[in-house]
Amino acid sequence: MSEPPLITRRPWSWRSQAFRGAVYQVLAVVVIVALLGFLVHNTLINMRLRGIQSGFDFLWSPSGFDIGEGLFNFDSAQSYAMALLAGLLNTLRVALLGMVLTTVLGVLVGVGRFSRNALVRGVCRVHVEFFRNVPVLLQLLMWYLVFTEVLPDALAPWRWGSVFLSKGGLSFPSPSWVDGGVVWDTPFMGEFAVEGGAALTPEFMALLLGLSIYTSAFVAEVVRAGIASVPTGQAEAALALGLSPRLQMRWVTLPQALRVIIPPLTNQYLNLTKNSSLAVAIGYPDVVSIANTAINQTGRAVECIAIIMLVYLSTSLSTSWFMNAYNARAALRER
């Protein structure tokens, strides 16, 4: 008995679900692009009627203001584009260091929630409940007041060897390139303040600690949930093999918990990066603060806001891509 012939559908047939899905997606993209074009066109017309200048040509004009902190020296003769670049680098510096500090502190607190020591468990729980329930802006202001009001004056800093801490910031030795070789530039107490070495301003430290400690409370809960998701039989098997609780957590529980930890951890990294825009409240020159100054001086609000949106969109998508790639590598594979 012969089998009935198979019915083949052409890939471009309307009966093909994949073809219909592709058509719907193309139509959706066309509609979205058309709406955006309509909004941009109307905005430009209204701005022109009201005599409001538009365009990104202002980026190449002298900024007329200085930036006191950055990864490179900036003066008022440089362009707005360079000023925004300095702000972008300041934002990235806080975001990247904040992710590292948040991860270390969050993992320690999350693992500490499973400690056999009641005091350690209590301290970790207080850390989580306190810092995640106090608004991040208040925490930034709290740390800023600590660094500007509680610490000693720059003429009488706290000192630990070659490290100085005062209201003027944190100074510490840093490598320096001199005569073709690397030497250490060590800070020393000058006539009016600490000189030499590398320095972190109170604004930077307040922002970094505020964001990191606040976000670490959420990361700790993510880590705790990930560890709790690992079957108890895994830990029992590790203990039966003679592994200590510390080695069992390091080599058995945490690697399996990563598949649960990484997706929500990505969200916390994104939140930390976006919360860095609150730097304007404590005077740290991030990209939002510098863009606000550019708006006040040039009136190009739409353009500056578009640049801010592009910066945070790019950083968020880059972070998501990296974490998704890492998640794919850390995922458990069935054999």
CA pair distance 322, 309, nearest whole angstrom: 20
Q: What is the pLDDT of residue 192?
A: 79
| pLDDT recorded at residue 318 | 93
| 229, two tokens | 């998701």
Give the pLDDT confidence score for residue 334 in this predicted structure.
47
**261, 223 Cβ separation under 8 angstroms:** yes
Q: What is the pTM of this model?
A: 0.83
User: What integer pLDDT is reported at residue 3 of this predicted model?
Assistant: 57
Contact 109, 225 (CB under 8 A): no
Helix (H) or strand (E) holding 14: none
Q: What is the pLDDT of residue 19?
A: 78
Residue 273 backbone zone (phi > 0: left; psi -120 to 50: alpha; other: beta): alpha
Residue 247: predicted pLDDT: 82
156-165 exposure pattern, b = at least 16 Cβ within 10 A, e = fewer: ebeeeeebbb
Q: How far apart are CA 173 and CA 197, in angstroms?
A: 5
The residues of the chain scoring below 70 in pLDDT are 1-12, 14, 51-52, 179-181, 331-335
Token look-up 């070789």 returns: 181
Q: Which amino acid is at 96?
A: L
Q: Which has the closest alpha carbon to 92: 269, 213, 273, 326? A: 273
Q: Are 131 and 213 in contact (CB under 8 A)?
A: yes
Residue 68's pLDDT is 83
